[in-house]
Chain A
């Protein structure tokens, strides 16, 4: 049987795994690395490098080397937090159709899913080389708090890479599966997942092979990148004070500073202080390179990042409250994501939950491991229940609502509702002979529509002309197991299907309508 791969498509690094025989294997690249940088370098001769070969290009050619693009996927460039992220990325980003971000490389525009597709195609290739077999199916993980359009864009990236995406799986749920699979547990646990760009916390109940998510939450713009950014700001300030040169206007130097900051951060997880010099950040009047000698103590660094960690703990309290459990009712506390290696993160979690977190698992690999298991469960679980069967009962991370009169939002699906879920609402017309109804859809829990994040527009078309108020169109909103919204509409008088189209802001395409939007012909990654 053709294998299924599980992919943890991370902000900083990606991991790919598969089930072979009876065990999960992490798939290395040709050089044996198990962690693949989520970096895509466009080199001048037209080649595209991905993963380890691409990483050094961030030093040499930052403007044509794309990284951390997961922070942009499926997002509207009008989102203020996206704007903030854009300030620190050295490559150029423009607004494209449907408010999506387009990455501009040497005058060509790439949608974010196209860039992600390069990473995914690279992982697919690694898997094919490792297994000696064609691979065409995958489970891809995303942060639990990813929005509809972020999930949709990720799925689309998988398709561009030539993969049938069997499931978009939440990262913490994948981690729970990796942790609890085959252990016949009867337990409740919390997953604290702090990655490069996103933070999730999920509380689950596990009973043998059933993994029931009780509540999930987090912050889609909180991660190790923020720790790097705090360090970069402090270092660039030092540079400014020493040399009266502002590195913010020098994208290449800034990119090197960002990379240096990441290294300093990693070293500060082991050492109490790190000292050294970042070379060649600028050129002095005499033509000599100007570097920055530095010393950063762990204590200083912790002062810079503690606000972010406190923000994550606040989200933990919310999720725990929503799950109906207290910290003492939890069995294990599991840490996922490279940023949980930061000693302050571990210390604050231990204090906050009143227990030591579980550290036996590998925080980098566990998500891909779980994704591979879910791939096996979805394809082989029915035939081999003894070995591969597991059932994930996951939830919608956000509430879904529609705009109604008076600026209010009417809830359709509440936050933490188990998925898949279907909810129906009946709509009518407000004018005589109206044949089209447009409904604004939002994500969020506020009763005031404007306080929620806009999701997009639902258009009902081809309604038979009738006096106002007499049309009765039943719309069923389904959030599928990928956490993606689908709509169907039916005329209750004729029982015929009505055309319903949903356009999601920041997403690569309008569902059930036009083909993908891209400014250039989709340039598929080479196999």
Chain B
């Protein structure tokens, strides 16, 4: 089959394909099998493999295919996401999405490990009513990860409590 047609065919089938089908692996596939399948398909679907030869529309379809391949690989190689995806599949959903997944711990949104540590300490202090300690630790967390909205929100609570306590 001509390359453009092959890409267009796969692109049209995309919204009816689950991640296992897309990767061409069984639902019981091991992480190693998933990784190997991902590399094998990346070699066919990564736009770099085709240099300048593709038409714009074909290239766009290829980017959409590669994006979905990556999505499938990311979900199936993460144990927690894969388990969530299994449940979604049973409900007839073919794609995993963060909104449908159960909510994560707030700490998971803090990326820096030391910020996370200070955040945990700060929250624990806040829960036990130790506003001063909470403010100190949350400020440390914010120093390390200044753009964390969660830390900011928690710090605002701690500061409010500290004010109340005088």
Contact at B70–A207, with CB atoms within 8 Å? no
Residue B147 at the chain A interface, CB threshold 8 Å: yes
Contact A378 B39 (CB under 8 A): no
**Complex alpha-carbon distance, A156 and B25, angstroms:** 43
* Binary flags per residue of B131-154, CB closer than 8 Å to A gives 1, else 0: 000000000000010111110100
Q: Contact between A447 and B70 (Cβ–Cβ < 8 Å)?
A: no
Cβ < 8 Å to A, chain B residues 53-85? 60, 63-64, 66-67, 70
Q: Which of B16-24, B40-48, B88-96, B120-128 contacts A (4 or more CB under 8 A)?
A: B40-48
Interface centre among A207, A322, A420, A448 (most CB of B within 10 A): A420
CB-CB under 8 A for A314 and B114, given A210-B39, A444-B147, A478-B63: yes
Of residues 198 through 226 on chain A, the ones whose CB sits less than 8 Å from some CB of chain B are 207, 210, 212
**Are B42 and A210 in contact (CB-based, < 8 A)?**
yes
Contact B49 A382 (CB under 8 A): yes
Which residues of B are found within 8 Å of A314, using beta-carbon distances? Answer: 112, 114, 144
A287-322 residues with Cβ-Cβ distance < 8 A to B are 314, 317-318, 321-322
Q: Which residues of A contact B50 (CB under 8 A)?
A: 382
B51 at the interface (CB under 8 A from A): yes
Residues of A within 8 A of B87 (CB): none
Distance (whole angstroms) from the CB of A137 to the closest CB of chain B: 11
> Which of A322, A418, A451, A481 is in CB contact (< 8 Å) with B111?
A322
Q: Choose among A212, A321, A381, A421 the residue that contacts B67 (Cβ–Cβ < 8 A).
A: A421
Asked if A391 contacts B48 (CB within 8 A), the reply is yes
Residues of chain A within 8 A of B152, CB atoms compared: 448, 451
Minimum distance in angstroms from A51 CB to a CB of chain B: 31
Is A446 among interface residues, defined by CB-CB distance under 8 A? yes
Is B4 positioned at the interface, with any CB of A under 8 Å from its CB? no
Tell me if B129 is interfacial: C-beta within 8 Å of chain A.
no
Cα A446 to Cα B148 in complex, Å, equals 6
CA distance A151 to B70 in the complex (A): 23
Whether A451 contacts B113 in the complex (CB less than 8 A), given A378-B48, A379-B51, A422-B64, comes out as: no
Task: Give the total number of A-B pairs whose CB atoms are below 8 A apart.
Answer: 72
Give chain A interface residues in 374-391, CB to chain B under 8 Å: 377-379, 381-382, 391
A193 at the interface (CB under 8 A from B): no
A4: min CB distance to chain B, Å: 12
| Cβ-defined contact, B46 with A318, below 8 A | no
Given contacts A314-B144, A447-B149, A448-B149, contact A422 B51 (CB under 8 A): no
Check: A392 CB closer than 8 A to any chain B CB.
Answer: yes
Residues of A within 8 A of B49 (CB): 381-382, 391
B43 touches A420 (CB 8 A): no
Contacts of A423 in B (CB 8 A): 67
- On chain B, the residues within 8 Å of A451 by CB distance are 146-149, 152
In Å, the complex CA distance between A172 and B114 comes to 25
- The contact string, 1 if C-beta is below 8 Å from chain A, for chain B 2-41, is 0000000000000000000000000000000000000100
In whole angstroms, what is the CA distance A393 to B69 when docked? Answer: 12
CB proximity of A135 to chain B, nearest CB, Å: 18
Chain B hits for A393, CB < 8 A: 42, 46
Contact between A210 and B67, CB atoms less than 8 A apart? no
Tell me the complex Cα distance, A393–B42, Å: 8
Inter-chain CA distance A321–B150, complex, in Å, is 19
Q: How near does chain A come to B105, taking the closest CB pair, in angstroms?
A: 15
Q: Does residue A445 face the partner (Cβ distance < 8 Å to B)?
A: yes
* CB-defined A-B contacts under 8 Å, sample of 15: A212-B39, A317-B113, A382-B51, A391-B43, A391-B46, A391-B49, A418-B66, A421-B70, A422-B63, A422-B64, A445-B111, A447-B109, A451-B148, A451-B149, A480-B63
Q: What 10 A-B pairs are tightest by C-beta distance, nearest first?
A: A448-B149, A451-B147, A418-B70, A446-B147, A420-B63, A447-B149, A421-B67, A422-B67, A446-B149, A422-B63
Report which A residues bind B (CB closer than 8 A): 207, 210, 212, 314, 317-318, 321-322, 377-379, 381-382, 391-393, 417-418, 420-423, 444-448, 451-452, 478, 480-481
Contacts A317-B112, A321-B111 aside, 6 further interface pairs with beta carbons under 8 A come to A391-B43, A417-B70, A422-B64, A445-B109, A447-B149, A448-B152
- Chain B residues within CB distance 8 Å of chain A: 39, 42-43, 46-51, 60, 63-64, 66-67, 70, 109, 111-114, 144, 146-150, 152
